Amino acid sequence: MSAYIADQTWPDEARRLNALERALDESTCRHLVRVGVSAGMRCLEIGAGSGSIARWFSRTVGPTGQVTATDLDTTLLEALPGECANVRVLREDISESVRLVGEGFDVVHARLVLGHVAQPERALTNIIQVLRKGGVALIEDADFLWSDVGEQPLYPASAALAYFPVWRAAVDYMHRRGYAVHWGRQLAAAMRSAGFEDVSGEAVILIGDRALQGSMALTIKRFAPALLQEGSVDQSAIDACLAALEDHPGTTFTGSPVFSVRGRRSR
């Protein structure tokens, strides 16, 4: 069973997920259009979170299509089937469950999910098995590239000085708790090893995106109690980091790359 580090018990988790959706949906939908999502298709959204992509699938496949939205915790998805007649919601752990094998989905999508899974390779094998032959998976995962380099582009420089040490402590914390902070760069090779064919993709770095900057502030707030408890940063460092992210009107934030990789099931 997966132990997800950012579960929905945190009161602001819906706000954090909504900010991520506002930042990332445009790019994701562009990729899904390129993959060929269209009316009448059967689509699976894994780790659907707050459900914006499941809603997009619902509108795009229309009444003749079907959408399945899964998550470890489906609390934020409960309203979906009432809103969209072609959507069903299932509580599923993608690293364990193969309940959907044989469903023959045309398209499967998972964003910012596999990096959290203890055995992402096994999850990829499960994903192949729920696709129809010829079906396509689009998998998207971040890569905390800047934590290696020792800085994250955030201007002015004073904002970066306040932001980066706390972000670095948060990355280390997430890594120790099982999050694969560099999974994005490994994704294409892992998909090939899992048996996907025609594997290709691209990575996007958002620059100056206020929604992404807001989601980062919420991520820092979410992990702040744990960082304070382990003593890796103190309250004044966290306050300075949040002020740099939230309050500085001239701050320009450059996000971590998000890798979007597609692959086809051929057999």
Binding residues (CB under 6 A) for ligand SAM: these are 2, 4, 17, 20-21, 46-49, 70-73, 92-95, 111-113, 116-117
Residue number, 56 or 253, with CB nearest to ligand SAM: 56
Q: What is the DSSP string of 207-253?
A: BS-HHHHHHHHHHHHHHHHHHHHHTSS-HHHHHHHHHHHHT-TT-EE
Of all residues in the shown chain, the one whose CB is closest to ligand SAM is: 49
Nearer to ligand SAM, 7 or 247 (CB): 7
Q: Which is nearer to ligand SAM, 120 or 160 (CB)?
A: 120
User: CB 2 → ligand SAM: shortest distance, Å?
Assistant: 4
| Secondary structure (3-state) at 143 | coil
Q: How far is the CB of 108 from ligand SAM (least distance, A)?
A: 12
Least Å distance, CB 56 to ligand SAM, is 11
Taking the C-alpha atoms of residue 262 and residue 187, their distance in angstroms, rounded to an integer, is 10
Strand bridging mode 252-253 / 131-142? unpaired
Q: Quick check: 54 and 29 in contact, CB under 8 A?
A: no
Pick between residue 109 and residue 237 the one whose CB is nearest to ligand SAM.
Answer: 109
For residue 68, the minimal CB distance to ligand SAM (Å) is 12
How many Cβ atoms from other residues are within 10 Å of residue 266's Cβ? 13
